[in-house]
């Protein structure tokens, strides 16, 4: 009985995780402390996209959200820490 | 004309001479802003094109 | 032979360059300190007697520029054919840095990689396999710590670079032959390059501490970038800087120094007793007195430079940018405008040039336009003089001066936003948060000494000559005779300055002496103090004791004939009118638009006038119960300024509406 509950719980959790993978969200909705893979990135500004690329921020790369504030957040891209405003965070889909 | 006057005039002339010579030299070197605390960064970019005098 | 120093922003290029050449270019712990190219010959201990020029370049993330200063770097390494490139790589962020390295390796110019900040890696337990990295990249890799005095790897780097100069560099990764205009192809190519880099990093780097783990520095960041706590802390830090330099430590040293200067002046005057009075006044009052008055304030400026250097070195500036970004955005600037403003407390010229790192043109120009409202180092003597003479050395005068400066920046930014109208482009903010580091006291000391030297040179050249000219113009009248006592108003200086003085009547200080001082202030702001010293024959400006003895009306205040209200108005007028000509020149070259330049000068004139007018009229109303003289003419003058601003705004907006309409239609059609 107990084992079954655990099993069920695990399934539930996995399902949730899968959900999150399928569901796209922007960085603002992400959890601090978690590492994500960038799925989409479009700032509607080609130069800005290219700039982010050169920092190592592009689709398929990892991004870690360190902390979130009301209007900004701190992330780790490659081995550097950056502060982003919400406008930019919204454009990063993980 | 007494000695203090003479010395005074010489000192004044010397100070003026060196001050102006320094300024002219710096101008020729392209330092537009003499003694500017940022002299190092600013002289090369011709930022003080307005000149300082 | 020329060796170029290139690498990512804040990897330590300028620190290394300074160590190698003995120069003292500006360094700081944030990305984008260096905004132009610097070059100087290497010290002979490094060059081995050869003629080697080191070229320091602004930081860049890649060969394709994003900001103007990145463009300088890629253009230089591509077009100017340096004999060798020293690529400074931030060893703590290898995975990002090597992207640019692989691009540099493609140029054919021999590259030496300097693995800088290796000391931080050792602390964090990150190891890099140098031999393997050398083999992978096909170029020498040397560990360096350029902040260290000895055993820092610098001479090895230079030795290698010199020995390799002229040879051909082989690239480990060659870009495929692609159409550079095709975005998709370029993108794919860059991805390949990054995965090549990732491959190398995976093989050579072992990390004990993952960069994604939360560290103490992250905890500190959480507080410092908190919208409430962060701003309070920032205000507190700046208050400490100003209080220490201008109320406590700096003033104590200055008080002592001024005593010596005054003694020297008396000594000079004594020696010249038998000389003609004209010579006596010129030397004792004009040269020694005028220059001495300015130099007397040097300790205040030096202490502040020292403290600002510490701030710049520790990594706090990037956090301030982050915490201030939302506020600055609201008024139409960006968080990046904060750094120029803080630099502006030292000198307006590097502050104006520092606005170059702001990408949005309108934000950049607005920052260059407004940053000089923050009182610079040259204005400190003016503030300190008035605080000392009229407000018993009260610290609040300093605080109010800086606070008003910030307020005016906000208001000015709102005005610029209102006048220039809509914005098309979204303004993003991204800033690297560098690792904290204990600020180097030695470096701050030398940075302070360097600026002190510049201050003294300025005092001994421009300010001395200006004082002398003012002295002569005051001593003689238009027929080149010595002005008789009691007829001071007939001197050359008085007749030139009087018409300007009339304009200043509504502001409460319509006398020619004060007008003359304000005018000479445009040459250099310290001149305000120098000229006041000359025209009123005063030196001892920082003098609290005397003030206590005479019960509020000390000699300086009495001689100038200003009330506390008009004194404050005059101080604000000098602080918030256009900066010195040199700074205006810097604005000209940064803005690259005559329209913006003249708008900036006009705005600053209008601001200085309006602020002084309000202080004088409202202050007089409060203190004496009636409006000050010249209320109506002053009001008319301000009304005219407002009309001009509205007209300019209309003109710009009319053009904007048309463009906006076209934009919209084009959007609909597509």
Output the CA–CA distances (angstroms, integers) from residue C215 to A79, A81, C222, in the order listed.
13, 12, 11
- How does the average pLDDT of chain C come out, rounded? 88
Sheet containing C111-116, strands listed edge to edge, beginning at the edge strand earlier in sequence: C38-41, C53-56, C2-7, C84-90, C111-116, C141-143
pTM of the model: 0.87
Give mean pLDDT, residues A34-48. Answer: 87
Q: Which of B8, B37, B49 sits opposite C588 (nearest CB)?
A: B49
**How far apart are the C-alpha atoms of C24 and C412, rounded to whole Å?**
34
Query: pLDDT-derived band of residue C105, with 50, 70 and 90 as boundaries?
Result: very high
Interface residue of C209, C217, C425, C429 to substitute, partner A, most A CBs within 10 Å: C429
Give mean pLDDT, residues C79-105. Answer: 93
pLDDT at residue C182, as a whole number: 77
How close C61 gets to chain A, by Cα (Å)? 6
* Of residues C113, C527, C216, the one with CA closest to residue B53: C527
Q: List the single range of A63-67, A80-84, C560-564 with lowest mean pLDDT.
A: C560-564
* Residues of chain B contacting C349 with CB distance shorter than 8 Å: 33, 36, 38, 42, 47-48
pLDDT at residue B49, as a whole number: 33
**How far apart are the C-alpha atoms of C551 and C326, rounded to whole Å?**
47
Residue A16 lies in a domain: no
A with B: 3 or more CB pairs under 8 Å? no
% of chain C exceeding 70 in pLDDT: 95
| DSSP H/E element including C665 | helix C631-669
**Between these two residues, B9 and C666, which has the higher pLDDT value?**
B9
**How far apart are the C-alpha atoms of B34 and B52, rounded to whole Å?**
7
CATH of the domain at A35: 2.30.30.90
Q: Is the pLDDT of residue C626 over 70?
A: yes
Q: Is the pLDDT of residue B8 over 90?
A: no
CB atoms within 10 A of CB C230: 20
Q: Does C330 touch chain A (CB under 8 A)?
A: no
Angle at C233 between CA C232 and CA C237, to 5 degrees: 120
Give mean pLDDT, residues C221-235. Answer: 93
CB atoms within 10 A of CB C378: 29
**How far apart are the C-alpha atoms of C646 and C639, rounded to whole Å?**
11
* Of residues C268, C296, C294, the one with CA closest to residue C282: C268
Beta carbon pairs, A and C, within 8 Å: 115
The per-residue pLDDT for range C355-374, each reduced to its tens digit, is 888 888 888 999 999 999 99
Q: List the single range of B39-43, C59-63, C445-449 with lowest mean pLDDT.
A: B39-43
Please give the torsion angle defined by the CA atoms of residues A76, A82, A87 and A88, in that order, rounded to the nearest 10 degrees: -60
Q: List the single range of A79-88, B26-35, C203-212, C416-425 with lowest mean pLDDT.
A: B26-35
Q: Is the pLDDT of residue B47 over 50?
A: no
Query: pLDDT-derived band of residue B46, with 50, 70 and 90 as boundaries?
Result: very low
Q: Is the pLDDT of residue C37 over 60?
A: yes
Q: Is the pLDDT of residue C551 over 60?
A: no
Residue B13 lies in a domain: yes
Q: What would the DSSP string read from start to end of C419-440? A: HH----S----EEE-PPP-PPP
pLDDT at residue C663, as a whole number: 66
Evaluate the CA torsion angle B36, B40, B42, B45 in order and state its sign. Answer: positive
pLDDT at residue C281, as a whole number: 83
Q: List the single range of A2-11, C573-582, C639-648, C659-668 with lowest mean pLDDT.
A: A2-11
Residue A17 lies in a domain: no
Q: Is the pLDDT of residue C602 over 90?
A: yes
Q: How many domains does chain A have?
A: 1
Query: pLDDT-derived band of residue B43, with 50, 70 and 90 as boundaries?
Result: very low
Residue B11 lies in a domain: yes
Residue B51 lies in a domain: no
* Of residues C300, C319, C308, C313, the one with CA closest to residue C33: C313
**How far apart are the C-alpha atoms of A56 and C195, rounded to whole Å?**
10
**How far apart are the C-alpha atoms of C7 and C15, rounded to whole Å?**
13
The per-residue pLDDT for range C178-218, each reduced to its tens digit, is 777 777 888 888 899 999 999 999 999 998 878 888 888 99
Give mean pLDDT, residues C290-304. Answer: 90
Q: What number of residues does chain B have?
A: 53
DSSP label at residue C627:
P
Q: Does A33 touch chain C (CB under 8 A)?
A: yes
A with C: 3 or more CB pairs under 8 Å? yes
pLDDT at residue C599, as a whole number: 92
Strands C53-56 and C84-90: unpaired
Residue B10 lies in a domain: yes
Residue B8 lies in a domain: yes
Residue A10 lies in a domain: no
| DSSP H/E element including C88 | strand C84-90
* Of residues C370, C380, C432, the one with CA closest to residue C401: C380
Between helices C380-390 and C298-314, what is the axis angle to 10°? 130
Contact C30, C315 (CB under 8 A): yes
Q: Is the pLDDT of residue A8 over 50?
A: no
Q: Residue A36's domain spans which residues?
A: 25-93
The per-residue pLDDT for range C514-525, each reduced to its tens digit, is 999 999 999 889
% of chain C exceeding 90 in pLDDT: 51
Query: pLDDT-derived band of residue A63, with 50, 70 and 90 as boundaries?
Result: very high
Q: How many domains does chain B have?
A: 1
Q: Is the pLDDT of residue C330 over 60?
A: yes
Query: pLDDT-derived band of residue C340, with 50, 70 and 90 as boundaries?
Result: very high
Give mean pLDDT, residues C41-53. Answer: 89
CB atoms within 10 A of CB C481: 10
Residue B27 lies in a domain: yes
The per-residue pLDDT for range C248-270, each reduced to its tens digit, is 898 889 888 988 988 898 898 88
pLDDT at residue A1, as a whole number: 42
Residue A3 lies in a domain: no
pLDDT at residue C664, as a whole number: 66
Q: Residue B23's domain spans which residues?
A: 3-45
Query: pLDDT-derived band of residue C354, with 50, 70 and 90 as boundaries?
Result: confident
pLDDT at residue C70, as a whole number: 86
Please answer yes or no on whether C465 and B16 come within 8 Å at the CB atom. Answer: yes
Q: List the single range of A11-25, B25-39, C287-301, C571-585 with lowest mean pLDDT.
A: A11-25
Q: Is the pLDDT of residue A13 over 60?
A: no
Q: Does C479 touch chain A (CB under 8 A)?
A: no
Domains of chain C by range and CATH?
2-206 (3.40.50.300), 231-656 (no CATH)
By a Cβ cutoff of 8 Å, what residues of chain B touch chain C?
Answer: 2, 4-5, 7-9, 11-12, 15-16, 19-20, 22-23, 32-42, 44-53
Residue A19 lies in a domain: no
Q: What would the DSSP string read from start to end of A3-59? A: HHHHHHHHHHHHHHHHHHHHS--BGGGSPTT-EEE--EE--S-HHHHHHHHHHT-ST
Chain B contacts in chain C segment 249-308 (CB below 8 A): 271-276, 279-280, 282-283, 287, 305
Residue A75 lies in a domain: yes
3-state SS record for C541-590: CCCHHHHHHHCCCCHHHHHHCCCHHHHHHHHHHHHHCCCCHHHHHHHHHH
Contact C2, C166 (CB under 8 A): no
The neighbouring-strand residues paired with A75 are: A65, A82
Q: Does C62 touch chain A (CB under 8 A)?
A: yes
């Amino acid at each position: 009985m107990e084992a079954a509950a655990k099993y069920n719980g695990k399934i539930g959790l996995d399902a949730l995780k899968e959900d999150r993978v399928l569901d796209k969200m922007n960085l603002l909705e992400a959890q601090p402390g978690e590492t994500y893979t960038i799925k989409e990135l479009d700032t509607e500004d080609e130069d800005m996209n290219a700039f982010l690329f050169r920092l190592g921020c592009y689709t398929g790369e990892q991004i870690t959200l360190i902390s979130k504030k009301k209007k900004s957040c701190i992330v780790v891209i490659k081995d550097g820490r950056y502060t982003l405003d919400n406008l930019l965070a919204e454009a990063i889909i993980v | 004309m007494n000695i203090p006057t003479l010395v005074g005039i010489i000192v004044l002339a010397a100070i003026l001479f060196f001050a102006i010579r320094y300024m002219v030299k710096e101008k020729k070197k392209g330092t537009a802003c003499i003694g500017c605390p940022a002299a190092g960064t600013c002289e090369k970019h011709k930022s003080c094109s307005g000149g300082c005098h | 032979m020329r060796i170029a120093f290139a690498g990512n922003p804040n990897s330590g290029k300028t620190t290394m360059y300074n160590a190698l050449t003995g120069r003292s270019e500006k360094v700081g712990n944030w990305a984008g300190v260096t905004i132009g190219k610097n070059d100087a010959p290497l010290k002979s201990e490094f060059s081995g007697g050869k003629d080697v020029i080191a070229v320091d370049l602004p930081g860049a993330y890649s060969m394709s520029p994003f900001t103007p200063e990145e463009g300088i770097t890629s253009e230089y390494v591509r077009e100017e054919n340096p004999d060798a490139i020293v690529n400074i790589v931030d060893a703590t962020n290898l995975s990002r840095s090597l992207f640019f390295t692989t691009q540099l390796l493609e140029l054919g110019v021999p590259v030496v990689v300097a693995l800088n900040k290796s000391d931080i890696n050792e602390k964090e337990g990150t190891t890099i396999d140098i031999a393997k990295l050398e083999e992978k990249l096909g170029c020498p890799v040397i560990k360096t710590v350029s902040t260290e005095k000895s055993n820092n790897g610098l001479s090895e780097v230079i030795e290698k670079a010199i020995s390799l100069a002229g040879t051909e560099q082989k690239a480990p990764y060659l870009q495929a032959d692609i159409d550079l205009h095709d975005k998709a192809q370029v993108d794919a190519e860059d991805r390949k390059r990054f995965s090549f880099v990732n491959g190398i990093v995976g093989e050579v780097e072992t990390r004990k501490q993952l960069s994604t783990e939360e560290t103490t520095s992250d905890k500190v960041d959480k507080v410092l970038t908190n919208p409430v706590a962060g701003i309070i802390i920032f205000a507190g830090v700046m208050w400490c800087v100003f209080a220490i330099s201008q109320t406590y430590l700096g003033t104590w040293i200055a008080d002592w120094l001024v005593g010596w200067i005054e003694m020297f002046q008396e000594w000079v005057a004594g020696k010249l007793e038998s000389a003609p009075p004209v010579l006596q006044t010129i030397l004792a009052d004009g040269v020694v007195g005028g220059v001495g008055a300015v130099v007397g304030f040097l300790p205040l400026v030096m202490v502040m430079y020292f403290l600002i250097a510490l701030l710049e070195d520790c990594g706090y500036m990037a956090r301030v940018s982050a915490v201030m970004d939302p506020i600055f955005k609201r008024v139409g600037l960006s968080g990046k405008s904060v750094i120029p403003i803080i630099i502006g407390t030292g000198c307006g010229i590097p502050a104006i040039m520092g606005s170059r790192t702001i990408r949005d043109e309108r934000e950049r120009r607005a920052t260059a336009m407004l940053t000089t409202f923050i009182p610079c180092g040259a204005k400190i003597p003016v503030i300190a003089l008035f605080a000392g003479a009229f407000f018993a050395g009260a610290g609040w005068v300093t605080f109010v001066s800086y606070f008003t400066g910030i307020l005016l920046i906000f208001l000015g930014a709102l005005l610029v936003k209102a006048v220039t109208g809509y914005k098309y482009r979204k303004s993003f903010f991204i800033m690297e948060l560098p690792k904290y580091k204990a600020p180097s006291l030695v470096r701050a000391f030398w940075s302070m000494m360097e600026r002190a030297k510049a201050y003294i040179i300025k005092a001994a050249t421009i300010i001395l000559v200006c004082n002398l000219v003012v002295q002569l113009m005051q001593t003689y009248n238009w027929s080149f005779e010595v002005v008789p006592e009691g007829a001071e108003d007939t001197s050359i200086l008085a007749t030139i300055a009087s018409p300007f003085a009339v304009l200043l009547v509504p502001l409460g200080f319509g006398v020619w002496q004060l007008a003359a001082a304000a005018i000479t202030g445009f040459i250099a702001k310290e001149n305000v103090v120098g000229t006041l010293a000359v025209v009123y024959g005063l030196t001892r400006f920082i003098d609290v004791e005397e003030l206590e003895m005479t019960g509020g009306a000390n000699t300086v205040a009495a001689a100038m004939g200003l009330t506390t209200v008009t004194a404050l108005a005059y101080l604000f007028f000098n602080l918030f009118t256009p900066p010195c000509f040199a700074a205006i020149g810097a604005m000209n070259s940064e803005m690259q638009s005559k329209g913006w330049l003249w708008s900036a000068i006009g705005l600053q004139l209008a601001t200085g006038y309006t602020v002084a007018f309000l202080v004088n009229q409202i202050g007089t109303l409060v203190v004496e119960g009636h409006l000050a003289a010249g209320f109506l003419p002053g009001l008319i003058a301000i009304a005219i300024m407002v009309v001009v601003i509205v007209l300019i705004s209309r003109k710009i907006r009319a053009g904007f509406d048309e463009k906006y309409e076209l934009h919209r239609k084009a959007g609909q059609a597509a």
